[in-house]
Structure 1
Amino acid sequence: MNKEHFLIELKIYLKPLTAQQQVFILNKYEAIFEERLAVGETEEEIAKSLGKPRGIAEEILQEFDITVPEKKLERDGWQEIEPVANKDYYYEEVPEHPYEQTYHSYERPQHNGFTRFCQIAGVLSFNFLLMFWLIFAFVMVLFSCWLVAVVFLLSPVLGGISVSAGFNDGTMFQLFLSIFLSGAGVIGLLILTPLTKFFGKVFKRYLQWNIRVLRGEI
């Protein structure tokens, strides 16, 4: 289910509410879609995580003391609910057709040529003069840490080779030291793995932000 189908179905189930209440709720969920689309999620993933529109509508209608029976009405190929409202609750009649309200879709902000030039020049300059070098330095440090951790992890192999070449006090010390370094390497890998994943996510979001700025979406 994509965003359009999700909002249409949600609108149908929210029919007992007033037009203003429907618009407010639909705009809220449309904003959720836009925010999560901006960070790389697909419309289908967002709709799946939000849940079924009927369930969302039922929770909202319960706040207005409106119950939704199991019985459904068939209308123009859509499954539509027939709400049962509390007698003390008044709600505004809305037109039969579920599409009479237009959704406020996301519109790309309009910038003049000078503003766009400043945006692009500013982003490129900021990245080249600062962020590129910071990211490069962090990647190099991260790579060095991974290299050291792997070498430490494999150090018992070198210790075993030393022992097999000749058994003495020096080789025994090297063996015990290599075992200690191997443990340090395991700890290093346990720390570096989530750190690398976190850096990857941050870098991905920063890259997406740069792309949006260059496209004029911000």
Structure 2
Amino acid sequence: MNKEHFLIELKIYLKPLSYQQQALILEKYETIFEERLATGETEEAIAKELGKPRTIAEEILQEFDIDVPEKQLGRDGWQEFHPEKEAEYNVTDFDEHNPYDEQYRIYERPRHSPFVRFCQIAGILALNFFMMIWVFFGILMGFLGVWIAAIACLLSPIIGGYAVIAGYNDGSMFQLFLSIFLFGGSIIALLILKPLTAWFLRILKHYFVWNISVLRGDV
């Protein structure tokens, strides 16, 4: 079962809940998938470890004291909820505190005075122009240079082998061994560079999103 099938089936079994509650729960499990996919796990492995969507939904519905009667699944594995029977599962009939509604909030953008907005915009533009843009540019160029050097060293055995074929002597053999050494070093460098580059790009993305939030007045 992949991510899409898992979330669809979970949504079906969460039918007795309100749309807001369903959205919050589905968002939680979608975040779990995204975080674990980023670590290299497959969708099938994540879904298997999380368990069956029906079992997860039953545990969630128990928090609302909702008993879902057993129903026969179709041959395709889906369970159908009939509209005329949805009323008996309506969670709005319960007076108990709803833990999911407590977390579901409509975001309201803060209201700032024109002076504060001016300071925010001027500050973020000055910070980027005089400092951050050059810092990120320097780091980016550094990563680019190291990537190019690592890839060039990865191809060095070709040059070393050609030198031996062109003329076998001590110099060509030294060049061959040096190229093999550089090849091994480039593999290690690439293994280190890949996560470092991904980490830097994530930071750059978060910083960019924060800049947009400041310019829009969301913070």
The TM tier, using the shorter chain, reads 0.5 to 0.7
Q: What SS class does the counterpart of residue 13 from structure 1 fall into?
A: coil
* C-alpha distance in structure 2 between counterparts of 1:57 and 1:81, whole Å: 17
Q: Which residue of 2 aligns with 1:74?
A: 83
Which shifted more, 174-183 or 194-203?
194-203
Q: Structure 2: any 5+ residue segments left out of the alignment?
A: 1-10, 32-46, 48-52, 72-80, 97-103
Q: 2:107 & 2:158 partners in 1: Cα distance?
A: 59
Q: Tell me which residue corresponds to 1:145.
A: 146
1:187-202 equivalence runs, <5 A: 187-202=188-203
The residue that corresponds to 2:6 in the other structure is none
1:33-44 to 2 correspondences below 5 Å: none
1 or 2, which has the higher strand percentage? 1
Q: Which has the larger radius of gyration?
A: 1
Distance 1:112 1:171 in 2: 72
Give 1:197 deviation, angstroms.
1.8
SS in 1 for 2:83: strand
Q: Greater share of helix residues, 1 or 2? A: 2
In structure 1, the residue corresponding to 2:115 is in which secondary structure?
Answer: helix
Superposition deviation, residue 10 in structure 1? 6.5
TM-score by length of 1: 0.62
**Cα displacement string for residues 98-151 of structure 1 (whole angstroms, at most 9, x for unaligned residues):** xxxxx7521211111111111111111111222112111111111111111012
Contact 1:69 1:82 in 2 (8 A): no
Instruction: Provide the residue aligned with 2:176 in structure 1.
Output: 175
Aligned to 1:131: 132
- Provide the aligned length of Structure 1 versus Structure 2: 169
- Structure 1: 5+ residue stretches without partners: 1-6, 15-24, 37-48, 84-90, 94-102
Q: Which runs of structure 1 show a deviation greater than 3 angstroms over 4 or more consecutive aligned residues? A: 9-12, 53-58, 63-66, 70-73, 78-83
Structure 2 counterpart of 1:197, one-letter code: A
The residue aligned with 2:109 is: 108
Provide TM-score, normalisation by structure 2.
Answer: 0.62
Q: Which residue does the alignment assign to 2:17? A: 13
Counterpart contact for 1:158–1:178, Cα < 8 Å: yes
Q: Is residue 210 from structure 1 mapped to residue 179 from structure 2 by the alignment?
A: no
CA-atom RMSD in angstroms:
3.9
> In structure 2, do the counterparts of structure 1 residues 11 and 163 end up closer, same or farther at CA, with 3 Å as the change threshold?
closer
Cα distance in 2 for partners of 1:209, 1:139 equals: 19
